[in-house]
Amino acid sequence: MTTAKRIALVTGGNKGIGLEISRNLAAAGCTVLLGARNVERGEQAVRQLGQTGLADVHFIEIDVTRQDTITATAQRIESSYRQLDILVNNAGVNLRGDGPPGAADLGVVQKVLDINFFGALRVTQAMLPLLRKSPAGRIVNVSSGLGSLAYNSDPSWSGYNWKLIGYNTSKVALNMLTVQLAYELRGTKIKVNSANPGYTKTDLNDNTGTQPVEVGAIEATRLALLDDTGPTGGSFSKDGPDPW
Ligand SMILES: NC(=O)c1ccc[n+]([C@@H]2O[C@H](COP(=O)([O-])OP(=O)(O)OC[C@H]3O[C@@H](n4cnc5c(N)ncnc54)[C@H](OP(=O)(O)O)[C@@H]3O)[C@@H](O)[C@H]2O)c1
């Protein structure tokens, strides 16, 4: 592990779990590029962290559905820092109109997949050359228990009745990205893992979650800061490994 300051990019960093991950990584001594699709909301979040003494946090405009913003982000990181050490694919949505397979609005399902899965894939592809330059690259895909086929088919699981074909499929696909990318990057210094935050009180679920963002951000933060002995290609919650 390098002793130089690590450069971290967090997508959807302006609120919820992403803001908390950004806070944690800055507190751990990283330079944090707080990604947000909305300039005003992103700059406000940076100011919020700055007011708590976390000064090395910088807004970067990144909409995971807009390749132009993703390319510009990669160029800015290349010119300012030469490399990227940590990528947290956190941006995600849960949209009205999603629902069980027989009733969900197909346009909504496609939109959810475009943000939650294709968004992460787009950003990952663009950042990979920068991550390869890191002595210890880390990619964290913020997934969900709803992305586990084992949990989805287990009647005793607490989220068993949440059958959202768009959202759940997007997280299953994101987990596949974790597995395949870890395979592709075997033999490199880059580790790739999925983090399941648990049911967390944020706008994503109209603040019905049962735990605060401080808890929801624990596992993604841990995986972002893994040392060289840490795992790759796995899915984890703060309580340990998750089944696929
Ligand atoms: N909350 C939970 O219980 C829970 C459980 C499991 C997994 N997760 C996952 O945790 C991650 C964070 O969710 P959250 O609960 O913190 O929700 P949140 O508070 O609604 O935050 C979602 C973030 O994603 C951003 N975003 C949405 N679409 C985007 C796009 N096209 N480009 C860039 N950013 C975009 C949002 O930006 P705007 O402010 O501009 O909308 C916001 O910053 C998501 O991937 C979610 O699926 C959450």
Q: Could you tell me if the CB of 44 is within 6 A of ligand 1?
A: no
Closest CA to ligand 1's atom 44: 92
Identify the pLDDT of residue 3. 54
Closest atom of ligand 1 to CA, residue 20: 16
Whole-number Å distance, alpha carbon 12 to ligand 1 midpoint, is 6
Residue 210 lies in a domain: yes
Is residue 4 over pLDDT 90? no
Closest atom of ligand 1 to CA, residue 213: 16
What is the average per-residue pLDDT within 84-107?
98
Tell me the C-alpha distance between 1 and 6, whole Å.
Answer: 10
Residue 2 lies in a domain: no
Residue 35 lies in a domain: yes
Of 78, 63, 173, 174, the residue nearest 132 (C-alpha): 78
What's the CA angle centered on 133, arms 64 and 81, to 5 degrees? 70
Whether residue 170 contacts residue 117, with contact meaning beta carbons closer than 8 Å, is answered with yes
Identify the pLDDT of residue 186. 97
Whether residue 188 contacts residue 131, with contact meaning beta carbons closer than 8 Å, is answered with no
DSSP 225: T
Residue 117 lies in a domain: yes
Tell me the C-alpha distance between 117 and 10, whole Å.
Answer: 15
Q: Could you tell me if the CB of 194 is within 6 A of ligand 1?
A: no
Residue 1 lies in a domain: no
What is the average per-residue pLDDT within 180-205?
98
Report the CATH number that the domain containing residue 176 is assigned in CATH. Answer: 3.40.50.720
Q: What is the pLDDT of residues 113-131, one digit of tens each?
A: 999 999 999 999 999 999 9
Structural domain range at position 196: 7-241
Whether residue 77 contacts residue 58, with contact meaning beta carbons closer than 8 Å, is answered with no
Whether residue 242 contacts residue 193, with contact meaning beta carbons closer than 8 Å, is answered with no
Q: Which two tokens stand for residue 185?
A: 């990057």
Closest CA to ligand 1's atom 36: 12
User: What is the residue type of 223?
Assistant: L
Choose which residue among 10, 203, 204, 242 to substitute to test ligand 1 binding: the one with the highest number of ligand atoms within 8 A of its C-beta. Answer: 204
What percentage of the chain reaches a pLDDT higher than 70?
99
Whether residue 120 contacts residue 173, with contact meaning beta carbons closer than 8 Å, is answered with no
What is the average per-residue pLDDT within 173-202?
98
Which residue shows structure tokens 């909409």?
63
Residue 86 lies in a domain: yes
Identify the pLDDT of residue 2. 45
Of 63, 39, 176, 165, the residue nearest 113 (C-alpha): 165
Whole-number Å distance, alpha carbon 10 to ligand 1 midpoint, is 11
Is residue 1 over pLDDT 80? no
Whole-number Å distance, alpha carbon 32 to ligand 1 midpoint, is 18
Residue 127 lies in a domain: yes
Tell me the C-alpha distance between 101 and 207, whole Å.
Answer: 25
Residue 17 lies in a domain: yes
Q: Could you tell me if the CB of 197 is within 6 A of ligand 1?
A: yes
Q: How many domains does the chain have?
A: 1
